[in-house]
Structure 1
């Protein structure tokens, strides 16, 4: 796929570098020359231009890429103006980064394809690690609902599945469980493999390393973590 990333600060730089490493064609844009210099050899093309200038923005192949990502975060005014210019130029697929609730609310008025909230997501991940004490991965379905995968805390080991009362008490749906199994190959060497268990009997016990995959409201996940 082809991407244009406008804004090559820390977030935009990593985004451009990672997408390029996966084989995508990335065009990077920033008004600060040092940022462009630091990444120009890692992506397809890089431009030193002020994207808030309508004429300067016109040099980019805006309608010949799959997605234009506005990664500007620190300069609220610049972010909004660039998005407005992109909409004016009828760019179909626009993603934009929002750094806070106000920024997000303004971007929502443009009916963008996706609003990115990396700071919010990173903060939530850290809170989950600090408070829950285990690694948590989440997929945001919408503003309220998430799919969350987490390694069970050690104190869960040996508990029966039905003892968690996920559905009745916390309104969380257990989708599945990722389990670590130790097997031996034909040479008798112990190997580790992962299997997915989609249907857990209520009398099943949790084992060390089990990962639960659940679906529900983020507020219900918060209540679950508090109860632990």
Structure 2
């Protein structure tokens, strides 16, 4: 697998967590922050770290930021710096700019200036937790877009011993099972004859309403 080069600007709680995980996944990560202490904390974790002002175009160019495959702007509370940094990155020619939004309005501005992806860590986590609270069988919930969702659902006892063909999810609900996580391993692209057991985890993709309909069926 190609080692993608990432740069993470802003090494606060979100940025440092993201940078650590990217490093664990085997990618090269450059960490950038104006706070020397934050940079020192990540110096032995990331591929490279540097104390720098990301709102200075010359500084960004000197770091060779244009050569990175993806740059994530994870600046904590300074909306002005976040927006200016994103503008500079797009102007310099970074292929993929992902920016953390601090509010809906901030997100709208980022979209207006052409950021490739805007993320709302606190809001998105809140949505996932809400779904998990409402449906005990729902283990994880990721909104792929405004309309599509991928969800992990635990197989209840009453569905144990049935096959995917028996459940007939595609016809009844319109959603698809893309994987089954079993004790002995994960089945990717399962067949209609794959047997389900209690506590297996179904990975399902579909529209939000399709997933919701199936959730309601599961928890009956």
Deviating more after overlay: 125-134 vs 151-160: 151-160
Deviating more after overlay: 140-149 vs 3-12: 140-149
Partner of residue 184, structure 1? none
CA displacement, residues 152-173 of structure 1 (integer Å, 9 cap, x when unaligned): 244554678689785566x441
Aligned equivalents of 1:194, 1:207: Cα separation in 2: 13
Unaligned runs of 5+ in 1: 182-191
The change in CA–CA distance for 1:2 and 1:205 in structure 2 (over 3 A counts) is closer
CA displacement, residues 41-72 of structure 1 (integer Å, 9 cap, x when unaligned): 21122121221233433332111221111112
Aligned equivalents of 1:78, 1:179: Cα separation in 2: 43
The change in CA–CA distance for 1:180 and 1:223 in structure 2 (over 3 A counts) is closer
CA displacement, residues 146-194 of structure 1 (integer Å, 9 cap, x when unaligned): 222221244554678689785566x44133562637xxxxxxxxxx455
Q: Does 1:49 align with 2:52?
A: yes
Q: Does 1:198 align with 2:190?
A: yes
C-alpha RMSD over aligned residues = 3.0
Aligned equivalents of 2:154, 2:119: Cα separation in 1: 26
2:203 to 213, 216, 222: 213
Aligned equivalents of 1:213, 1:176: Cα separation in 2: 6
Contact 1:8-1:71 at 8 Å conserved across structures: yes
The change in CA–CA distance for 1:110 and 1:136 in structure 2 (over 3 A counts) is farther
Partner of residue 173, structure 1? 175
Unaligned runs of 5+ in 2: none
Aligned equivalents of 1:144, 1:130: Cα separation in 2: 21
Aligned equivalents of 1:4, 1:196: Cα separation in 2: 32
Question: Aligned residues, how many?
Answer: 215
Q: Does 1:101 align with 2:93?
A: no
Shift of 1:205: 7.7
Q: Where has structure 1 moved over 6 Å in runs of 4 or more?
A: 158-165
TM-score when normalising by structure 1: 0.77
